[in-house]
A = this chain, B = another copy of it.
Amino acid sequence: MEQPIQYRLIKKEKHTGARLGELITPHGTFSTPIFMPVGTQATVKTMAPEELKTIGASVILANTYHLWLRPGSQLVRAAGGLHQFMHWDQGILTDSGGFQVFSLAHRRGISEEGVTFKSHLDGQPMFLSPEKAIHIENDLGSDIMMSLDECPPFFESHAYLKASVERTSRWAQRGLQAHRHPDRQGIFGIVQGGGYHDLRRQSARDLTSLDFAGYSIGGLSVGESKAEMNHVLDFTTPWLPENKPRYLMGVGTADSLLDGVIRGIDMFDCVLPTRIARNGTCMTSQGRLVVKNAQYAQDFTPLDPQCDCYTCRNYTRAYIRHLIHVNETFGIHLTSYHNLYYLVHLMARIRQAIRDDNLLDLRAEVFDQYGFNEKNAKNF
């Protein structure tokens, strides 16, 4: 049987580990590297699907944990799956729920069988196993599913992380076996291991011995430094197969996208662009701009004079600031639209730079715009 998710490597950049490729899914073929907007609750906050297409988004992420709780995966299945439920006909990736169980839910108990926890909504006792996670994702009908992993803190002890990595590998195998729709959904395994070279290697070796459609790198962007994240990527991506896509989970600052791509990452997701948008913060070609600040009250220029998105073509900082100031959600829509456009557009520029073999020039340009250097680059 042909894998529903495939990766085609088109070109490697001359000076870095960056790769230009194609992600082939049942809902379309998409250029990589790719940034995937997050639609936690079956909607990318404030954005219509048509608007996401207009800005060039092609794969979006939905959160298994949230949708399992509300509206429930069986309801989504009854609706014809997530694509039909939310009116999105391009790619959808679902996480495993593991990250949310370990970050949002209360009173966790972890065993070989799975994780028991209490819902963060109503305290109801819940149980998530590797099989259950895959079955929920089967109900959701995403193109790309994640295998259930444990997400321990980056700075856990070596002993704890070793046991955790080994359990995550056993869970990965169970998830693969539980898969009900191998003809139309692919599963990625998630490489864990904190900052430890030997554990990342063990995790990568365990998972690449199984036939996953792609590989995620988890447990990063959780409080470690930018240098630590890059260090882990430096030694982890070389262990991943060239013919499978590589996904760095939860990363979405301009600098981290560039540094991830340079280390061979193909896929990224992050709530950052829509989350900071709700706070009136924008990513621009001039760096970070907090449009809700009083200094923009009478500024009749666009958020980003170099941007040609819908927001920047039609609205001023003064207007957007006013809307956010008086709690009009249309203001948040305009900043969300711009931030998503910024990252999706940056990714298109990154792909072009890979074609042109000048990715390091683009990196220098963007780092300069944000006033980033190697020390503060993570502090968007």
Q: Which residues does A use to contact B, with CB under 8 Å?
A: 41-43, 45-48, 66, 70-71, 75, 78-80, 85-87, 297-298, 300, 314-316, 318-319, 321-323, 325-326, 328-333
Contacts of A297 in B (CB 8 A): 71, 75
Which single member of B43, B86, B322 contacts A71 (CB below 8 Å)? Answer: B322
Contacts of A323 in B (CB 8 A): 41-43
Taking a contact as CB atoms under 8 Å apart, the answer to whether B79 and A326 are in contact is no
Taking a contact as CB atoms under 8 Å apart, the answer to whether A319 and B79 are in contact is yes
Query: Contacts A85-B319, A87-B315; is A43 near B300 (CB within 8 Å)?
Result: no
Taken together as a complex, chains A and B put the C-alpha atoms of A48 and B50 apart, in Å, by 13
Taking a contact as CB atoms under 8 Å apart, the answer to whether A75 and B298 are in contact is yes
Query: Contacts A85-B319, A319-B79; is A70 near B330 (CB within 8 Å)?
Result: no
Query: What distance in Å separates the Cβ of A311 from its nearest Cβ neighbour in chain B?
Result: 10
Taking a contact as CB atoms under 8 Å apart, the answer to whether B45 and A329 are in contact is yes
Query: Contacts A87-B315, A297-B71, A322-B70; is A328 near B79 (CB within 8 Å)?
Result: no
Instruction: Name 9 extra pairs, CB < 8 A, besides A70-B322, A79-B319.
Output: A43-B323, A43-B328, A45-B329, A48-B330, A70-B326, A78-B300, A80-B300, A87-B314, A87-B315
Query: What distance in Å separates the Cβ of A221 from its nearest Cβ neighbour in chain B?
Result: 24
Contacts of A321 in B (CB 8 A): 71
| Interchain residue pairs with CB less than 8 A apart (17) | A41-B326, A41-B328, A42-B322, A43-B323, A45-B328, A70-B326, A71-B318, A71-B322, A75-B297, A75-B322, A78-B298, A79-B300, A79-B318, A80-B300, A85-B318, A87-B315, A329-B333
Copies of chain A in the complex: 2
Query: What distance in Å separates the Cβ of A73 from its nearest Cβ neighbour in chain B?
Result: 12
6 nearest A-B pairs in the assembled complex, by CB-CB distance: A71-B322, A87-B314, A43-B330, A329-B329, A41-B326, A43-B328
Taken together as a complex, chains A and B put the C-alpha atoms of A195 and B75 apart, in Å, by 53
Taken together as a complex, chains A and B put the C-alpha atoms of A321 and B43 apart, in Å, by 13
Taken together as a complex, chains A and B put the C-alpha atoms of A45 and B333 apart, in Å, by 11
Contacts of A331 in B (CB 8 A): 43
* Nearest opposing residue in chain B for A322, CB measure: B71
Query: What distance in Å separates the Cβ of A242 from its nearest Cβ neighbour in chain B?
Result: 39
* Nearest opposing residue in chain B for A278, CB measure: B329
Query: What distance in Å separates the Cβ of A115 from its nearest Cβ neighbour in chain B?
Result: 23
* Nearest opposing residue in chain B for A78, CB measure: B298
Taken together as a complex, chains A and B put the C-alpha atoms of A319 and B80 apart, in Å, by 12
Contacts of A75 in B (CB 8 A): 297-298, 318, 322
Which single member of B87, B318, B329 contacts A46 (CB below 8 Å)? Answer: B329
Query: What distance in Å separates the Cβ of A85 from its nearest Cβ neighbour in chain B?
Result: 6
Query: What distance in Å separates the Cβ of A336 from its nearest Cβ neighbour in chain B?
Result: 10
Taking a contact as CB atoms under 8 Å apart, the answer to whether A325 and B70 are in contact is yes
Contacts of A332 in B (CB 8 A): 329
* Nearest opposing residue in chain B for A326, CB measure: B41
Taken together as a complex, chains A and B put the C-alpha atoms of A75 and B317 apart, in Å, by 12
Contacts of A80 in B (CB 8 A): 300
* Nearest opposing residue in chain B for A332, CB measure: B329
Contacts of A48 in B (CB 8 A): 330, 333
